[in-house]
Amino acid sequence: MLNAKLLTDEILWKSLRKGDEQAFETLFERYYTALVSYGNSFMPQSDRVQDCIQDVFVDIWLYRQSLQEWVVVKAYLLSCLRKRMARTYQRERIFRQTTSLEDIEFTMDFSVEEQLISDEITKAQATQLNRLINQLPPRQKETLYLRFHQGLSIEQIAEMLDIHSQSVSNHLHRAVQQLRKEWKGDFMLLFLLILGNM
Amino acid sequence: MLHRDQYKNIEDFLSDETFRRWILFKKDEMGWEEWTLENPHRAKMVDEARIWLIAMRVDDAPIEQKQIQQALQNTWQKIDNVAQEARTPIPIWRTKWWKVAAVVMIGMALGMWYKQQSNREVAGVYPTLEKKENEGLIEQINNANKPQLITLSDGSSILLQPKSKLSYPKSFEGNERKVYLSGEGFFEISKNPKKPFYVFANEVITKVIGTSFRIKAYSDELNVEVVVRTGKVSISSSKAEGLLQKEDVLLLPNQAVKFSRKQLAFEKITDLTKSPPFSSSLSSIEQLSFEFTDIPVEQIFKTIEQAYLVEIDYPAAKLKDCYLTTSLSDQPLPEKLKIVCESLGNNTHYEMNGNQILIISNGCN
């Protein structure tokens, strides 16, 4: 396995289960950045994010023989990290004696990809839409992130968030439709304002 | 998953990885641009989906390689702490050397002067070396005008160029793998650190642990050239007693060595991009890309057919909708086929008979 960096997740996972340290390291290197980014969305700028990621991989290595054979590695890692962070958060809540029953919250804000904007109209539209997306409830925002940024499937997201897959796709569809309606409305308003000022 | 002709919601587009790659990274592997231009209704949806992607940028703070390595070390440390009694320390071989593969090219160019001066010498070491151990060796001579595929018992594959000869054992006994080359061949060696692979070509011995490389050693050429693309290879001469430099020459990526058969000396070149004669003469297999991203398996088979000059029979109808993302670079042919079959799923395997390859499959999952 000299060229592990080029192998697919599936093959690396298989080797990892058999105790291949290089496969383990390759997957670690491949997904570390994505995991830090996802973890930071729950506990921004915290050392605990890194601790949690390391712990996830420690468990994977120690219990490699009992790992499932067929997993989508990225979804599995994101899911493990989420669970572990939720547990950490719960423990802290007990110590801090707060009464909140909320799960960990996805706080990441999306930004606008300026580099792909070529004209003012696109810019106004994208900025507007971006504002609306960022106002979504954390769960919905997280679903958008997992689906459209990390590329997870509906089923994988359902398993991660512990809800039925049909409700994931419903939520997703409804959120997108709702946003579109608001956005189009807002944009018409904006358009009229611009016209009115001319 | 829906076919894109059936996409009617924005989220259908947004969850299509190839679409995202096209918009965000301008990588249009699926011909999205053409597809969009086919009808104005599509263009409208694509335009909106594009704005969505623009509005949903995620700022992943870049993490330096150093930090990742640090985190990885910490993780191993934790693992060691947890399993201290049961586990031995982290093996030394988990180092960079191990992670690389090499492409070596050895070329020989013999000038007329040399040929006249030392006609006897040119006969070279290969015949003598070969004679010593040639019991039970299979000898392949390629008299055709196109490269010939040879598969060795250890899963390594070699494309032997015309007018070239390779001798190799039916199976590799002991803890070494040795073959003898006269002429030119492209080698892809199956990885087995416990059994290093040696190629004897004229006075030069190339030792590899597992990698791919090219050796050009026609008996009427003056120099031996070794070029490494990635990885590590060690070069020595079988005429070590006459050699000024007694040690083996180690080559790292983008380094090369030229062995002068007359002076029995190695000349090391540390940047091969500056030495055009080394990098130029690539064969077709070296020019083909084996990096596949969401490519129909049919096309992958075509690439393999072209590279190794083999024929692949496969159930075309059953594999019609199978797309694979995989990297087959630097793998010998049997390994390439194995990876493709494994990626297609449990019910797929291959059989190989000379230049004929048969894929048995019930389709992909």
> pLDDT of B336-351, one tens digit each?
898 898 888 878 889 8
Let me know how long chain A is.
198
Classify residue B191 by its DSSP letter. P
**Cα torsion A125, B30, A10, B100: sign:** negative
CA dihedral A41, A44, A45, A48 (to 10 degrees): -80
Q: What is the longest distance spanned by two Cα atoms in chain A? A: 70
Both ends of chain B: CA-CA distance in Å? 12
Q: Which letter does DSSP use for residue A179 in this model? A: H
Q: How far is CA A73 from CA A9, A87, A160, A183, in A?
A: 6, 21, 13, 35
Q: Which of A57, A54, A102 is nearest to A76 (CA)?
A: A57
Q: Which two tokens stand for residue B25?
A: 């990274």
pLDDT band at B75; cut points 50, 70, 90: very high
Q: Taking the complete model, does pTM exceed 0.95, yes or no?
A: no
Of B4 and B225, the one with more pLDDT: B4
Confidence class of residue B215 from pLDDT cuts 50, 70 and 90?
Answer: low
Q: Kindly indicate the confidence band of residue A166, based on its pLDDT and cuts at 50, 70 and 90.
A: confident
Residue B208's Cβ-count burial label (10 Å; 0-12, 13-18, 19+) is: buried
CB B83 within 8 A of CB A142: no
Question: Token pair for residue B26?
Answer: 């301008």
Residues in chain B: 365
Residue B146: is it exposed, middle or buried by C-beta count within 10 angstroms (0-12/13-18/19+)? Answer: exposed
Task: Provide the pairing of β-strand B204-208 with B233-237.
Answer: antiparallel
Q: Residue A148: its chain B contacts at CB < 8 A?
A: 11, 14-15, 20, 52-53, 56
Provide the 3-class DSSP secondary structure of residue A55: helix
Closest approach of A54 to chain B, Cα-based (Å): 5
Residue B196 or residue B358, greater confidence: B358
pLDDT at B191: 75
Q: Find, in chain A, the residue whose alpha carbon is nearest to that of B190.
A: A1
Shortest CB distance from B63 goes to which of A1, A22, A33?
A: A33
Please determine, for residue A43, whether its predicted confidence score (pLDDT) is greater than 90.
Answer: no
Task: Give the percent of chain A with pLDDT over 90.
Answer: 30
In whole angstroms, what is the distance from residue A135 CA to residue A129 CA? 10
The partner residue sitting opposite B11, judged by closest CB among A25, A36, A173, is A173
User: What pLDDT does residue B272 have?
Assistant: 59
With beta carbons under 8 A apart, name residues in chain B contacting A61: 75, 79
Task: Quote the DSSP letter at residue B189.
Answer: P
Above 60 in pLDDT, residue A129? yes
The Cα–Cα gap between B30 and A40 comes to 34
Amino acid, single-letter form, for residue A168: V
Mean pLDDT, residues B154-167: 87
Distances in whole angstroms, Cα of residue B217 to Cα of each of B103, B165, B197, B236 = 16, 10, 17, 15
Q: Secondary structure of chain A: what % helix, strand, coil (to 5)?
A: 75, 0, 25
Q: Lowest mean pLDDT of A3-12, A49-58, A115-124, B116-125, name the range.
A: B116-125
**Chain B residue with Cα closest to A38:** B60
Q: What is the pLDDT of residue A36?
A: 93
Report pLDDT for B85. 45
Q: Note whether B164 and B306 are within 8 A (CB).
A: no
> Lowest mean pLDDT: which of A182-196, B122-136, B165-179, B263-277?
B122-136
From CA B26, how far away is CA B36, in angstroms rounded? 14
pLDDT band at A23 (very low <50, low <70, confident <90, very high): very high
Give the model's pLDDT for residue B212.
61
Q: A2: Cβ–Cβ under 8 A, 6 or more apart, which residues?
A: B98, B99, B100, B101, B191, B209, B210, B211, B231, B330
> Which residue, among A15, A54, A148, would best test binding to B if mutated, counting the most B CBs under 10 Å from its CB?
A148
Q: Is the pLDDT of residue A95 over 70?
A: no
| Across B299-320, average pLDDT | 88
Nearest to A25 among B54, B72, B209 (CB): B72
List C-alpha distances in Å: A172 to A145, A146, B338. Answer: 11, 11, 39
Residue B88's pLDDT band (boundaries 50, 70, 90)? very low
Measured at the CA of A157, the angle between CA A152 and CA A162, to 5 degrees, comes to 165
- Which residue of chain B has the CA closest to A127? B55
Of A1, A32, A180, the CB nearest to B63: A32
Q: Chain B partners of A10 at a C-beta cutoff of 8 Å?
A: 342-343
The chain A residue lying nearest B15, using CA atoms, is: A148
- A134 burial class (0-12, 13-18, 19+ CB within 10 angstroms)? middle
How far is the C-alpha of B267 from the C-alpha of B263, rounded, in Å? 11
pLDDT at A130: 92
CB contact under 8 A, B98 and A22: yes
Residues of B in contact with A133 (CB under 8 A): 55-56
Q: What is the mean pLDDT of chain B?
A: 75
- Residue with tokens 């590279």, as numbered in its chain: B307
| Amino acid at position A22, single letter | Q
Q: Is the pLDDT reported for residue B111 higher than 80?
A: no
Angle (nearest 5°) at CA B325 between B319 and B328? 100
Amino acid at residue number B350:
Y
pLDDT band with cut points at 50, 70 and 90 for residue B281:
low
pLDDT of residue B210: 55
**Strand B223-228 with B177-188, pairing:** unpaired
Q: Taking CB atoms and an 8 Å cutoff, what residues of chain A touch B22?
A: none
Which residues are CB-contacts of B75 (< 8 A; sequence separation ≥ 6)?
A: A28, A54, A57, A58, A61
pLDDT at B113: 31
Average pLDDT, chain A: 83
**Once rounded to an integer, what is the mean pLDDT over residues B10-37?**
89
Instruction: Give residue B275's pLDDT band: very low, low, confident or very high (50, 70, 90).
Output: low
| Structural contact between residues B24 and A113, judged by C-beta atoms closer than 8 angstroms | yes
Is the model's pLDDT at B73 over the cut of 50? Answer: yes
> What residues of chain B lie within 8 A of the CB of A149, using their CB?
56, 58
The listed range with the strongest mean pLDDT (A100-104, A188-192, B170-174) is B170-174
- For residue B324, the chain A residue with the least C-alpha distance is A8
pLDDT at res. B102 = 31
Token representation of residue B277: 């004669």
Q: What's the confidence (pLDDT) of residue B237?
A: 76
- Say if residue B295's pLDDT is above 80: yes
| Contact status, residue B188 vs residue B288, Cβ threshold 8 Å | no
Residue A109's closest chain B neighbor by CA? B58
Is the pLDDT at B129 greater than 60? The verdict is: no
The answer on pLDDT for A1 being more than 50 is no
Quick check: B53 and A148 CB within 8 A? yes
Distance CA B69, CA B92 (A): 16
